[in-house]
Amino acid sequence: MRANRDRWDELVAIHARSAFYDVAGFKAGKTSLRPIELDELGDVAGKSLLHLQCHFGLDSLSWARRGARVTGVDYSENAIALARSLNEELHLGAEFLCSNVYNLPEKLDGRFDIVFTSYGAICWLPDLKRWGQLVAHYLKPGGTFYMVEIHPTGLLLDDGKDVRELRIGYSYFPTPEPIRSESEGTYADRSAAVQHKTSFEWTYTLADVLNALIGAGLRLEFVHEFPYCVCPLLPGMTQREDGWWHLRGQTHSLPFLFSVKATK
């Protein structure tokens, strides 16, 4: 967890100046939210929204622009500092808190109409059962949990830079220890010089995710799967006019994203 936090602290500045995040466009009024979450979560105006693992807050602030009363949480001090700065500059009224997800009850009281998380978040969590319990803890009765995430199927494929064919590189089922990676650059800037190259990720099956929520007492509204990704997850993926990354030459081959909506 410390190695991951050190890496994310370093990545904040790299991501903030990347075309992937387009901070200048966001400041000019562009939303960082994508059609999936906008369509599936719907109207958030006037609702309280807790964003878990918010990075430096663009999605949190985008929800605030749509009328939500937003609290964003992330364990990177650099990320929260930038989120607060953007919030102050743009006068969006959000609040940001630096905390590990698991320590959040020690720092944050209250309940929310919506708990939200998205894109590349849960792989940094070593205990999905506790995560599900925290989601339920922060939801008001009748409240909504919504997530959109990288599909576990996409994460089992070999993502080595020299790979030219689809092949299994990782276990679909969780292993006793997290996967250790030594990464050059970042998904937002493959050529970026990064000092903290080491990271550790935990893998989960789709069943693990759903059972963590069901076990915490939430009722599933839907589970959806999508044949494209939010970033170039694998070598050979190309970005189309719709903004999503697809396997070259294939349209509906494998799921690379999934979404879940649940209620308390």
pLDDT tens sequence across 200-253: 999 999 999 999 999 999 999 999 999 999 988 887 788 888 889 998 776 668
pTM score of the predicted model: 0.94
Please say whether the dihedral angle defined by the alpha carbons of residues 70, 68, 57 and 226, taken in this order, is positive or negative: positive
Using one digit for the tens of pLDDT, what is the confidence trace for 45-77? Answer: 999 999 999 999 999 999 999 999 999 999 999
Please state the rounded mean pLDDT for residues 133-160: 93
> Reduced to 3 states, what is the DSSP secondary structure of residue 135?
helix
For residue 8, what are its two tokens? 């994310």
Domains of the chain: 2-263 (3.40.50.150)
Question: Which DSSP string do the residues of 222-246 spell out, in sequence order?
Answer: EEEEESSBSS--STTEEE-TTS-EE
Residue type, 196: H
Q: State the pLDDT at residue 168.
A: 86
Q: How far apart are CA 132 and CA 207, in angstroms?
A: 13
Can you tell me the mean pLDDT for 7-32?
A: 95
pLDDT tens by residue, 70-112:
999 999 999 999 999 999 999 999 999 999 999 999 999 999 9
Q: Inform me whether the pLDDT recorded for 169 exceeds 80.
A: yes
Burial category of 258 from C-beta neighbours within 10 Å (exposed 0-12, middle 13-18, buried 19 and up): buried
Q: What is the pLDDT of residue 187?
A: 85
pLDDT of residue 118: 97
